[in-house]
Amino acid sequence: MSERHPNILASLTVWVRRHAAANALLIGVIALIFVFAYLNSQFLTTGNFRNILIQSACLAVVAVPMALLLISGNVDLSVGSVLALGGVVTGLLLNHGMAIVPAILIGIAAGTAVGVINGILVTVTTLSPVIVTLGALTAVRGLAETLAPKPVFNFPEGFVNLGDGEVLGVPYLALVAAAAFLIGAIVMARFPLGRHVYAIGVNPEAAFLSGIRVKRIVFLLFVVTGAAAAMAGTMLAARLGSAPSGSLGLGFELEVLTAVILGGVAFTGGRGKIFGVLLGVLFLGILQNGLTLQNVPAATALMIKGGTLIVAAWLDWVSVRSEGLATLLRGVGPKPEPEKAAIVIGEGGSSR
């Protein structure tokens, strides 16, 4: 059977698949900005953008490692509680007179420890990551509440400054978030590790047989996610000026997952881009901010956010399934037909 070379077709298909979800989201983010700018004169101000950045920063810091976990076919549901643990530990230490930097580092270390435990349970016992981290979600919240039965507040000024201070007009928190995205993007694009994470998500057994140390990498991702969640906790505590153990980061894990999946990362693993995650975080941040400015009740905002996630996931599914979204967006030309390309270079032998 002759084998034709659909070079251009194949490349085009790959390009469209890779970028369809991110492009749709980019358009969504821009549209959102236009809509809110039209509705509310306060929206397009530097002060408000500063707010959006500060409010999105904690989400961003955790969304990046969570995206890597999802791409590798895992998930960490405990990040909301780990965030609380990080904030509470740092806050308690500060109130006991510890200096700011060591207090933050120990807070992050607490979250790292949770990550280590999650990672060991998932890789050694091969329990489902959903079960392991669901347990951790509950247990770690309990730990945080045990450590600080009452809200921790009254932090030193230097710490609170970290939450709303800025350098050259850019909030500190936004810088941290930017660093998280930069590191995530570089790791995924330029480190061998990045390709290994995709490979594990696509076919863990083949990855193992190719000599990739699958367990080591998955373990590492859980540790980094735990550390990042705790760091987000210290950031949130600094911003709010308090660390209420019972409510800090409550439901945060779902918000992170929303942003990551909105950004085109497949919940089933193997697919996703850090740039998409950036857009997902921005989209959620802008949406939340705009709805607040419009005095939309919190309950209504929840419904809108939930609906957005489902619509986004559906659009993503459409784009991957049939390239339908890509055609929709470009509004041009004949639909690329990846299935046909597959048949052209396919063969009967293996499917008999």
Applying CB under 8 A, the residues found at the interface with another protein are 1, 3, 5-7, 10-11, 13-14, 190-192, 195-196, 198-199, 202-203, 205-213, 270-271, 338, 341-342, 345-352
The distance of closest approach from Cβ of residue 76 to another protein in the complex, given in angstroms and rounded to an integer, is: 23
**Cα separation, 136 vs 76, whole angstroms:** 9
Which strand (E) or helix (H) includes residue 152? strand 152-153
**Smaller CB separation from another protein, 170 or 342:** 342
**Smaller CB separation from another protein, 157 or 205:** 205
**Smaller CB separation from another protein, 13 or 288:** 13
AA letter at 336? P
**Smaller CB separation from another protein, 228 or 266:** 266
The distance of closest approach from Cβ of residue 9 to another protein in the complex, given in angstroms and rounded to an integer, is: 9
**Smaller CB separation from another protein, 216 or 330:** 216
The distance of closest approach from Cβ of residue 72 to another protein in the complex, given in angstroms and rounded to an integer, is: 13
**Smaller CB separation from another protein, 190 or 335:** 190
Whole-number Cα distances in Å, 46 to 136, 242, 249: 39, 26, 27
The distance of closest approach from Cβ of residue 220 to another protein in the complex, given in angstroms and rounded to an integer, is: 14
The distance of closest approach from Cβ of residue 97 to another protein in the complex, given in angstroms and rounded to an integer, is: 40
The distance of closest approach from Cβ of residue 114 to another protein in the complex, given in angstroms and rounded to an integer, is: 27
Residue 319: beta bridge partners? Answer: none
Residue 249's CB is within 10 A of a number of other CB atoms, namely 29
Which strand (E) or helix (H) includes residue 243? strand 242-243
Q: Structure tokens of 49?
A: 């953008």
Whole-number Cα distances in Å, 272 to 104, 275, 277, 296, 316: 31, 9, 8, 32, 11
Among 52, 283, 65, 83, smallest CA distance to 170 is for: 52
